Amino acid sequence: MRISIYLLSFLIFIAACKKEDPGPLHYFVLPADSDCAPVLLDSFPLTQGHVWIYDSGDTMRTLADTIINGSKTTKLCIGQGANLVNYHLKNASDGFWNLAFPLDSATPRNAGLSAYLYDMNSVGNSLNAVPIRLMKFPIVLNDTFSSGENYFGEYYQSQWITFKRITTVAGTFDCAVLKVQSSGAQSWYRYYSTKGLVREISVVTFGSKAKDDPGFYYSTTDLISINF
């Protein structure tokens, strides 16, 4: 039986994060953070040795550069404890790309921070994969782009929706907010600053999405430490 990749990701999230029920999915609104000046990102910080720690217990860490199909990429390791997954990422003038993910039976499948998003389009038991655009540059509000079909047959639409100033344990950051909507039951709101991913809000519905059906939850993961 095929299981939605998003449901698996959500079950991992709620194990580590507080569940909240703000109301029906159609009426979900972002927290009332302060607006800020446009954050015109043109890259994700991939310098080797960068470390991000999140309140879910997850860590992101940049490792050695790797050549994938002739392109120089940086390995980004995401997860916690023994549950780690590596992605091979690249900045380009038109966006931030994932070029490969080692999809095989030996790869742990329960990393947090929505790591599952990055393996859509990975094929077989190798590093060969269709490139996936995780962010589009330059940033233009309401600009929508598609990342294609994932391994389980769902689709993603992404859109830059606003600029917000937020504060976490790690500090105060001006962020561009990217909404990622799946064709299934889940959406994500990702807050990116010049320091990388600062916050992720994950929203999942299990109900009919009707106004009187509260069958969904959201969870928030915040950056708590960064080493650069």
Secondary structure element (H or E) that encloses residue 15, with its range: helix 5-16
Domain, as residue range, for 171: 5-226
pLDDT digits (tens, 9 = 90+) for 72-105: 889 888 888 777 877 889 999 999 988 776 544 3
Instruction: Indicate the SS3 state at residue 179.
Output: strand
Q: Which of 48, 49, 87, 91 is closest to 71 using CA atoms?
A: 91
The SS3 assignment for 22 reads coil
Summarised one tens digit per residue, pLDDT across range 106-159 is 444 443 333 333 333 443 333 445 677 899 999 999 999 987 555 556 678 899
CA–centroid distance for 202 within its chain: 9
φ, ψ for residue 27, nearest 5 deg = -110, 15
Domain at 206, CATH number: 2.40.360
Q: How many structural domains comprise the chain?
A: 1
